[in-house]
Structure 1
């Protein structure tokens, strides 16, 4: 796992400034503390930071082809590199290393951009072909590895693994993008291809970009989730699921450094550890993070699996009084990021790095096998939407959604406001309402009249509607899974894990997000993924011989922090100081009285604004860094 960066002259040849390239690349040293490397000519400069995982002595980058006319810098892993190397050797290519990186340059020579279709892994890379003056940028299918780019006022393309590299370049335009606040407070992050900055972009997951001097920047999609050719029967699913999972885990256990796994005590991480234990003779290294508040602590369940599979297990408990990492978390993401589980994720990465360099995670199980409660709610609501025509449904449920109180204090079954709101909407807008960090009406109250006017009717829902046009299935469950693959996974889950792990120089691999496993699992019918109000039903049934019932069928806890408690106690002064700071009140985004009202209602225990206040706190820290 590494960090990459580079500069390309788009208009005229001019030797790349090596000192500047070194300076900006070293800002992401945490991504690769073991080594650095550079290549420059009159058109392009490539930079690399290395975290050594495979071929420790021979994987220095940039890495070249036989005659040094093709160079690559690479972040990630190609898990099928050995098979590809054998094929390429048979085709006449000569290899000098045992590194998976070298496969990329020869695959480019042999297959051009079609090489991407042959890679099985997680990756972001930049390849320079001196013969054709072509720069080739690519990002893996699901967006596990990040890649940012911008064009400067002087006509240079700048790209990097982290946005801090770009914003530190003296010629990069760092003006903020107006829509970013609306998107952030809806999603909790800013979805691809956008960023907080007007002229900085993310290369979307499953996309690549080829660029020559004088050409236009036009990313193209090389992979998308396709419509299932045929549905799997229950028998086929149960017969093959464990085999598919084992293969996805097995290919991710190749490393020349110590390897382990996260073990949260949930189904997904427990399944990964179970498969690992069956694939190696020595005990698996596992680690877990817990809180000293019981309803947020899953370590006792992690211990169940650790004991069952005799892992070498390590735990760390976070005190409810320990809020020292909040400012560090705010800086990790280079733009506003509101997932509160970023803090325990950072801590579990920090704990794992003390003992291993590579850790396998259970990320992706809920998206691939439909485990989220919101999926079940959406299907139940969709049945009502299908039964009632919109001329009846919209006014009736719209009125109920408006009138019903926001009962944060009530048991879950009595919190009907969101359900009524969603029933009044179409499928995509209903899902947007369900998964929003701060729902549309509450964002309208939060934003100032001037900011609302500046949006000219734009909402973050637009991004979901654009993706929905390409959904490969009209099945309502698969539609919203697809939307999550396009937004929540790359923008939320995978961003969180990448920055938290790389800040600790740890490589994290996600077997449940293997693209071949995903394509296979997308053939499982909705009725087999959600049955008897149980999410991930087929996945859990297949795992019954491997995991105890207490792990498989207990209520999902999630990997989150006791925000509600912290904001009424330890973090109360921080709320006042940062959310009501001059940089927030004078930003033009917010209605100041609404900010004060939310803090007062929460700290007095009248309402639970924990999620919204955390989102505001992270936004305040981001704005503060813009003016410092």
Structure 2
């Protein structure tokens, strides 16, 4: 994993090694092991790279890398199946001078062009310059594990980077996108669900996951293409549960095995939930009979109701691991929030992100460069409890008898669940069920009433942006698979989590790998009927049934906790309260919030609660 940046221009005088170095210096954290800069013979293409050495640690694998006296590339990510791809390419006569996946990637492009992407099992963002065609091929992976931002002016320039700060260092003005800011402060939106390319800053566009850009360098024109989607409507109703379990087992073990390929130490994050516990357990199984001991890294919160230490211990007792723990605190958040926000670049939902940041710091302290993690499982296997709504919607429309039976079982199972409880539809969900077109005007009306009776925003700011309210589909999907597809691919839900993971890991020069996001595994799980994912009240039922290597206490956990810290008590810290007030002051000074907000008390909020939006005011100090 690395950091990339570059500049493509119609005017060669605009390109320089100095400019490229500025763009890569600001992401040195992404690649502390080396740097490289290169400008094409015609002077129009500049590529910059910061290297975190993972595969082939030799100097020959440095980037920008060149191949066949035709291709030049800067690449961030990993191609996990590069060994198999390389073997096939060698049979076709391709020769290689390194042992890196980067060289394999260029050979794949030479053979297949854009179709090469369908053969890749990996996470990636790269720019590949083709000297013969005078084009640049800019790609982001299927689900958005690796970031890619760009700024483009037709006929003049195309600049890009792994982080937005690359663009700012290259001359793009840093200007807040007030439309995004309004929706964030009003409703907590971290993305525009209808356009995931929009960011919190003007002139900084996010390349949509599963898309590529082809830059015609002669004309400085771009074409954007989607190369991948999930066929969520194609359900295999003939597959038996035993067949499904066998295939799941095979695909997951293959995915984990490939993601262990590394020339540096590999460990795992362990939260105590189903997903990370399964990753740790499978890695342990794959290492049986070897002298290798897996290191695990966890955040714990002693005395907090949602602390998951006991579940971590169940896994530790059953596996041969070397556990490491860290206890994030309010004092630590105060000390680190500026750095955390610098790396995240855009707002984040809660202090849970800080817990992950601390886990990555712990891995660095223990010299483990690569961590496997369980992200993605909730979105493809219906792990969140709000998925019950779409599951029961589907069942109600297809089998009334089974619907009544499953609903009763579900209620009996979860009536004593003190963490999640029985899932209830929100007011927004009920309105959507009646008429989806009513949701946006009702949200706008509620906001308007609030603004009139107890104004939050500066009146000019409110009048300018109040008609630009974003809309989502909520939990009113008629089938479970559509709801899962919305979270995995369409709405940006998982993309937010992937952004947190990328920035938190790279802040400490660590790499995160996610076995559940093997596209072959994702595609298979989407073919399974809904009752294989939720059954007899259990989420992730097929996973629980398949993997008996999990400790039983975790395998049949009813509650769902998302690495949640004691945010409410943290926000009662006087220094954090003062930081929130500072954020409010800045928002007032920038004519965003009404000055009356300065007279209101700060309310401590649980993670992901935005009733008072004190958390949003806290982050705004670092956004503006």
TM-score bracket relative to the smaller structure: 0.7 to 0.9
| Cα offset, 1:562, TM superposition | 1.5
* Count of aligned positions: 581
Q: Does 1:84 align with 2:85?
A: yes
Change (3 A) 1:568 1:586: same
Contact 1:182–1:460 (Cα < 8 Å) also in 2: no
Contact 2:584–2:618 (Cα < 8 Å) also in 1: no
Change (3 A) 1:73 1:533: same
Task: Tell me the residue number matched to 1:145.
Answer: 146
Task: Tell me the residue number matched to 2:20.
Answer: 21
| Cα offset, 1:370, TM superposition | 0.4
Task: Tell me the residue number matched to 1:230.
Answer: 236
Task: Tell me the residue number matched to 1:210.
Answer: 214
Task: Tell me the residue number matched to 2:590.
Answer: 587
Q: Does 1:293 align with 2:303?
A: yes
Q: Does 1:179 align with 2:179?
A: yes
Q: What are the Cα deviations for residues 369-419 of structure 1, in whole angstroms up to 9, with x where unaligned?
A: 0010121245457889999xxxxxxxxxxxxxxxxxxxxxx9976997x62
SS in 2 for 1:103: helix
SS in 1 for 2:47: strand
Deviates more, 1:80-89 or 1:316-325: 316-325
Question: Superposed, which structure 2 residues align to 1:533-612 within 5 Å?
Answer: 533-581=537-585, 583-593=586-596, 596-597=599-600, 599-600=601-602, 602=603, 612=613
Contact 1:579–1:595 (Cα < 8 Å) also in 2: no
Which among 239, 244, 262 is matched to residue 255 of structure 1? 262
Task: Tell me the residue number matched to 1:530.
Answer: 534
Task: Tell me the residue number matched to 2:38.
Answer: 39
Which among 314, 317, 322 is matched to residue 312 of structure 1? 322
CA distance in 1 between counterparts of 2:439 and 2:512 reads: 29
SS in 2 for 1:208: strand
CA distance in 2 between counterparts of 1:102 and 1:179 reads: 42
CA distance in 2 between counterparts of 1:444 and 1:212 reads: 50
Q: What are the Cα deviations for residues 283-304 of structure 1, in whole angstroms up to 9, with x where unaligned?
A: 2111111123322321221122
| Cα offset, 1:579, TM superposition | 3.4
Q: Does 1:354 align with 2:365?
A: yes
CA distance in 2 between counterparts of 1:7 and 1:317 reads: 42
Task: Tell me the residue number matched to 2:4.
Answer: 4
| Cα offset, 1:544, TM superposition | 3.1
| Cα offset, 1:338, TM superposition | 2.7
Deviates more, 1:420-429 or 1:76-85: 420-429
CA distance in 2 between counterparts of 1:208 and 1:249 reads: 27
Contact 1:4–1:25 (Cα < 8 Å) also in 2: yes
Question: Superposed, which structure 2 residues align to 1:13-412 within 5 Å?
Answer: 13-14=12-13, 16-41=15-40, 42-57=43-58, 58-67=60-69, 69-151=70-152, 155-170=156-171, 172-185=172-185, 186=187, 188-191=189-192, 192-213=196-217, 214-227=219-232, 228=234, 230-231=236-237, 232-280=239-287, 281=290, 282-323=292-333, 324-355=335-366, 356-380=368-392
Task: Tell me the residue number matched to 1:399.
Answer: none
Change (3 A) 1:102 1:60: same
Task: Tell me the residue number matched to 2:408.
Answer: none
Change (3 A) 1:366 1:308: same
Deviates more, 1:364-373 or 1:235-244: 235-244
Deviates more, 1:201-210 or 1:544-553: 544-553
CA distance in 2 between counterparts of 1:451 and 1:107 reads: 50
| Cα offset, 1:128, TM superposition | 0.6
CA distance in 2 between counterparts of 1:423 and 1:343 reads: 34
Across the aligned residues of Structure 1 and Structure 2, the Cα RMSD in angstroms comes to 3.2
Task: Tell me the residue number matched to 1:404.
Answer: none
Task: Tell me the residue number matched to 2:410.
Answer: none
Deviates more, 1:178-187 or 1:506-515: 178-187
CA distance in 2 between counterparts of 1:604 and 1:493 reads: 20
Task: Tell me the residue number matched to 2:483.
Answer: 480
Contact 1:338–1:618 (Cα < 8 Å) also in 2: no
Q: What are the Cα deviations for residues 320-372 of structure 1, in whole angstroms up to 9, with x where unaligned?
A: 54332222222212222334221011000111122311110011111110010
Q: TM-score scaled by structure 1?
A: 0.85
| Cα offset, 1:43, TM superposition | 1.2
CA distance in 2 between counterparts of 1:494 and 1:531 reads: 28
Task: Tell me the residue number matched to 1:619.
Answer: 620
Structure 1: stretches of 5+ with no match in the other structure = 388-409, 469-473, 624-628
| Cα offset, 1:519, TM superposition | 0.4
SS in 2 for 1:505: coil
Contact 2:444–2:467 (Cα < 8 Å) also in 1: no
Task: Tell me the residue number matched to 1:461.
Answer: 471
CA distance in 1 between counterparts of 2:434 and 2:556 reads: 30
Contact 1:152–1:173 (Cα < 8 Å) also in 2: no
Change (3 A) 1:461 1:552: same
Change (3 A) 1:411 1:497: closer
Change (3 A) 1:234 1:439: farther
